[in-house]
Amino acid sequence: MMTIVLKQDPAMSASVANKTGTQVKPTPTELAASTTPLVEGLLRLGDSALVLSQRLSAWCGHGPAIEEDMALTNVALDLLGQSRMWLTLAGSVEGAGRDEDALAYLRDANQFRNVLLTELPDEDYARTIVRQFFFDVWHYFLLERLTLSTNPDISAIAAKSLKEVTYHVRRASDMIVRLGDGTAESHQRMQDAVDALWPYTGELFVDDAIDLVWEKEGWGPKVSSLQSAWSEHVGQVMAEATLTLPAAEAAMHAAFRGGRTGRHTEHLGFLLAEMQFLQRAYPGASW
Amino acid sequence: MIDAQQVMGWLQKVADPEIPVLSIVDLGIVREVSWDQDTCVVTITPTYSGCPAMFEITQAIEQCLSEHQIKSVRIATRLSPAWTTDWMTEQGHVALKGYGIAPPVQRAVDISGISRRPAMPPVPCPQCGSNATRLISDFGSTSCKALYRCSACREPFDYFKTH
């Protein structure tokens, strides 16, 4: 049994490797403990995109109209691509040999850092659309600020993603108006979805220690700084859609946040069970 | 050492797997060809971050260069500046139209505003040329295309959207 030392002497680790013939690999728990604010923040970006992409992918072949089916799966594909870039960067910064696949397929729910909103199930199509709208508007303003990052890898990924997300947010806004200001039934279902998902929007704007480090280093904004722009756009679209926004206090309850630190709803476990099944059942399988 | 321009000329024959009339050079994917000693380095940029064609494009480049007796090839990916339809060549525009896909009518997508639908010039129908066309969905059969309908000839068509 070897003692794990924080700063390994390269000469020493080389000699250990030579004697035993294999490199000592840290366990997943040790890796999780060793992640830095930079890696944590990158996982947050990658995981939110990945989990929402997985949710949207489930609509493939089941959309209520072919245009909807294609739009949702296109958005899912964009988010998957963005997630791959973030997770690849997270793995490379972490330097523990985990690539995008290891991060996506071999972490458990409490190691995921996505916002809770992205993992909520598609109980009604209205919820799918409202979830997308709340997320897209936030994602747009977040990426816009990340393009100014002092870290060139972050700004490059953000600039690329922002172009795609601009299309996402415009479509989501259109759908809110079309269904909100639609028939009596579509209006009611949209209002129910807004009321149900609203509590989860608070998490999008609550800073923690990671956010403060990101702001200090110039890697990205504090999430609290995105709230006024988000509220303004969401408010305008909701008004046009004849939908009523719940009171701001309704989004303040701590029980509806925690995803960014690994405290999730029960829904994420089921999502991961499906997403990760193949790699868990057949480790290392590829084609 | 083979001239980089010569290599670029060969890559002009490599087609995009989803839109075979369009070469990857005309699409603006190939950013640079250079040499690192005996290795030919082809720098490419992804179109859309989730575009599944990128893997096939990488393989097609390697195959094309190996057919021209270049033994060592490295494909480098460059994210910044992000790919834009502004890099599509005039030849690319013509090829798209001939294939029945309307080419981009604007410069790069306007990311500066979250407004729902910025003013946009008409997209002429690639079949009959009419400007009486209508957007059905910003999301089409592939990441790069939007779905339109022509009110004159009543045919639907793909539009290669500005990006």
Helices (H) and strands (E) in chain A, counts: 13, 0
Q: What are phi and psi of B77, to 5 degrees?
A: -105, 135
Q: Is A185 inside any structural domain?
A: yes
DSSP lists the bridge partners of residue B35 as B40
Does one domain contain both B105 and B63? no
Does one domain contain both B65 and B123? no
pLDDT of residue A2: 35
Q: Is B78 inside any structural domain?
A: yes
Determine, for residues A173 and B116 on separate chains, whether the beta-carbon distance falls below 8 Å. yes
Min mean pLDDT across A24-28, A158-162, A242-246, A251-255 is at A24-28
Q: Is A141 inside any structural domain?
A: yes
For B125-137, what is each residue's pLDDT tens digit? 999 999 999 999 9
| Distance in angstroms (rounded) separating the CA atoms of residues A18 and A186 | 67
| Distance in angstroms (rounded) separating the CA atoms of residues A151 and A146 | 9
Domain count along chain A:
1
Does one domain contain both B17 and B77? yes
Does one domain contain both B74 and B123? no
| Distance in angstroms (rounded) separating the CA atoms of residues A97 and A73 | 31
Residues 6 or more apart whose Cβ sits within 8 Å of residue B2: B40, B68, B70
Q: What is the pTM of this model?
A: 0.90
Does one domain contain both B125 and B69? no
Determine, for residues A156 and B80 on separate chains, whether the beta-carbon distance falls below 8 Å. yes
Q: Is B94 inside any structural domain?
A: no
What CATH number does the domain containing B14 carry? 3.30.300.130
Task: Please report where in the chains the tokens 């979805």 appear, as a residue.
Answer: A193
pLDDT at A16 over 50: no
Three-state SS for B88?
Answer: coil
Residues in chain B: 163
Count of CB atoms situated within 10 Å of the CB of B40: 22
Q: Is A251 inside any structural domain?
A: yes
| Distance in angstroms (rounded) separating the CA atoms of residues B160 and B47 | 12
Does one domain contain both B68 and B106? no
Q: For residues A80-92, b (16+ Cβ closer than 10 Å) or e, as one string? A: bbbbbbbbbbbbb
Long-range contacts of A220-225 (CB under 8 A, 24+ apart): A220/A41, A220/A142, A220/A145, A220/A146, A220/A149, A220/A154, A221/A142, A221/A145, A221/A146, A223/A142, A225/A145
Q: Is A216 inside any structural domain?
A: yes
Min mean pLDDT across A3-12, A257-266, B25-34 is at A3-12
CB contact A159 to B (< 8 Å): yes
With beta carbons under 8 A apart, name residues in chain A contacting B114. Answer: 137, 140-141, 166, 169-170, 173, 233
Does one domain contain both B71 and B140? no
Residue A94 lies in domain: 33-257
Q: Is A273 inside any structural domain?
A: no
CB contacts < 8 Å between A and B, how many?
Answer: 92
Q: Is A16 inside any structural domain?
A: no
Q: Is B91 inside any structural domain?
A: no
E-only strand ranges, chain A: none
The ipTM (two decimal places) reads 0.93
Residue B57 lies in domain: 4-83
Does one domain contain both B76 and B42? yes
What CATH number does the domain containing A181 carry? 1.20.1260.10
pLDDT at A11 over 70: no
CB contact B81 to A (< 8 Å): yes
Q: Is B88 inside any structural domain?
A: no
Domain count along chain B:
2
pLDDT of residue B111: 83
For B54-67, what is each residue's pLDDT tens digit? 889 999 999 999 99
Does one domain contain both B20 and B46? yes
Does one domain contain both B9 and B67? yes
pLDDT of residue A33: 47
Does one domain contain both B69 and B136? no
Query: For the sheet containing B101-102, what is the strand order?
Result: B101-102, B156-160, B145-150, B133-137
Long-range contacts of A182-190 (CB under 8 A, 24+ apart): A186/A126, A187/A242, A187/A243, A189/A124, A189/A125, A189/A126, A190/A126, A190/A129, A190/A130, A190/A241, A190/A243
For A142-196, what is each residue's pLDDT tens digit? 999 999 999 999 999 999 999 999 999 999 999 999 999 999 999 999 999 999 9
CA dihedral sign of residues B107, B110, B116, B118: negative
CB B160 within 8 A of CB B101: yes
| Distance in angstroms (rounded) separating the CA atoms of residues B148 and B103 | 12
Q: Is B130 inside any structural domain?
A: yes
| Distance in angstroms (rounded) separating the CA atoms of residues A124 and A129 | 9
Q: What are phi and psi of A151, to 5 degrees?
A: -90, 115
Does one domain contain both B75 and B105? no
Determine the residue of chain A that is closest to B144 in CA distance: A74
CB contact A71 to B (< 8 Å): yes
